[in-house]
């Protein structure tokens, strides 16, 4: 006996079931607790072990830091907010394509969310590398040897990662 072909309503029900299965999952991108500055060329000893998220936050919002008798002003370079705007703009198209792959059975929920996380990582890295940020101070340019805000040892942008959290 041949299998009865599915009608449109059965297909739609199955698609809705697959999409509802995503409820409670989430994806995050940025720097997690294990992302810390490593000993490397250009990394001052006092920076080794410092959480990268701490330095990212300082750069995102700016800061005033006292170094001896000198007050150092770090201007805000809102790369995370720029990345969030980009994700908000491009995200619906990306999620639509991923949802289609889930519905078509080409990938599962975790794979789709992992791909969404990689998309988010890419937007953060792009923002770090290509944002139109306030120039570095002349002293910073002299120390680094170039004027590329947010880029020094490259550990910050190289350590951007994402994770998928399952429903509790």
**Beta strands per DSSP E along 56-158:** 63-67, 70-74
- Cβ pair 102, 109 in contact under 8 A: yes
Q: Which residues pair with 26 in a beta bridge?
A: 165
> What six digits make up the tokens of 158?
């190289």
Closest CA to 155 of 60, 1, 20, 42: 42
pLDDT of residue 84: 96
Note the pTM of the prediction, 2 decimals: 0.83
Q: Which residues pair with 162 in a beta bridge?
A: 29
Q: Which residues of the chain have pLDDT under 70?
A: 1-8, 11
Per-residue model confidence as pLDDT tens digits over 146-163? 888 888 888 999 999 999
pLDDT of residue 11: 66
């Amino acid at each position: 006996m041949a299998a009865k072909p599915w009608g449109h309503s059965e297909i739609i029900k199955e698609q809705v079931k697959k999409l509802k299965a995503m409820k409670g999952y989430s994806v995050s991108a940025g720097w997690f607790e294990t992302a810390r500055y490593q000993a490397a060329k250009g990394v001052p000893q006092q920076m080794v072990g410092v959480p990268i998220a701490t330095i990212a936050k300082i750069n995102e919002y700016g800061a005033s830091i006292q170094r001896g008798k000198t007050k150092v002003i770090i201007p805000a370079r809102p790369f995370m907010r720029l990345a969030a705007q980009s994700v908000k703009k491009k995200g619906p198209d990306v999620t639509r394509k991923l949802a289609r792959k889930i519905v078509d059975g080409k990938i599962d929920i975790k794979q789709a969310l992992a791909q969404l996380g990689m998309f988010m990582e890419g937007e953060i890295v792009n923002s770090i590398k290509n944002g139109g940020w306030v120039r570095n101070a002349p002293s910073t340019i002299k120390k680094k040897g170039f004027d590329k805000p947010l880029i020094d040892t490259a550990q910050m942008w190289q350590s951007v990662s994402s994770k998928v959290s399952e429903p509790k």
